[in-house]
Amino acid sequence: MTPTDFTIALHIGAHKTATTHLQRSLSKSADQLHEAGVRYYGPPLFRMPGRSIPALFGLKGDRPDQATRRTPADQLELMRKNAGRLVFSEENYIGVLNSPRRFPVTMRYPDAGSRVTALANALGRKIDVLIGIRRPTGFLNSAYGQMLLGGRVMPIADYKRINPIESVDWVDLLGRLRAAEGVGRLTVWRHEDYAAVFPQISASLVGAENAHLVRPFERRIHEGPSTDAVNEIAQRHADGETGKLGFGMRKLLPVGPNYPAFDGFAEQEHRSGDAAYAKQVAALANLAGVTLLQPD
């Protein structure tokens, strides 16, 4: 196999679209994929100090440690190990889920296109990009829960003011990615279809001939908080407790028959968001250069 005889796929999330489940599924199948000529790398590598994607490939945003001071080409060859397909998965590469700033979000992942272009330029080849999307109210509910788990406590009304439903515009994000230099195939799927299109996602990542090697991880990961957990977090925070209250309350008051899942949106807000989402999905299905995976 020659140095140019391989391709690269980059799964960029988005956050809260079963990214961890997909990463666990790929990781569990990594040995079989390696034997088939596919090398997978995900968060266990990219979130180590000095081993982020920018650090490994000499991009801005992180400082490499002594062990990773190689040229991008040398680093790529070291990771490839003569594989015909390299698969990277790291949703944090395109930006953060929740901005610490307290003024309204107008654009999700504003640097996504330029960051993919920077990586493609460093590697000297186009990159196939894969991304999941999600209904706006579901995305924001989950993002709010993730913020609480991370230790930032904010009333849901304030969160919704900073993160309006209309800020979740997937057509805008996919359009910017499609226009970005260095993007090869661009594949997208709805989070709501994730289980049904899992084989198609796997085929897009590792090749149709290897898709059967990627077995879905057995259980759901990262359950959100219940309404009771959110209320308890808010109360304890108001009483002066500090630290990451979210994980403890999620365990104490887990989503189930006794504790309904938290939902910060009224029915009318869900309907409005779903109507906008349906229009976005229809637009993506007709966006040139974008492949929308759909259930058979």
Distance CA 174, CA 140 (A): 18
Mean pLDDT confidence for 121-150: 96
| Percent of the chain scoring above 90 in pLDDT | 88
Distance CA 172, CA 280 (A): 9
Spatial CA neighbour of 22 closest among 93, 80, 88: 88
- Rama region for 293: left / alpha / beta (φ>0; ψ in -120 to 50; rest): beta
- With the CA atoms of 28, 32, 36 and 39 taken in that order, what torsion angle do they form, in degrees rounded to the nearest 10? 40
Q: Which helix (H) or strand (E) holds 164?
A: none
CATH of domain 7-135+168-220+273-293: 3.40.50
pLDDT tens digits, 235-275: 999 999 988 899 999 999 999 999 999 999 999 999 999 99
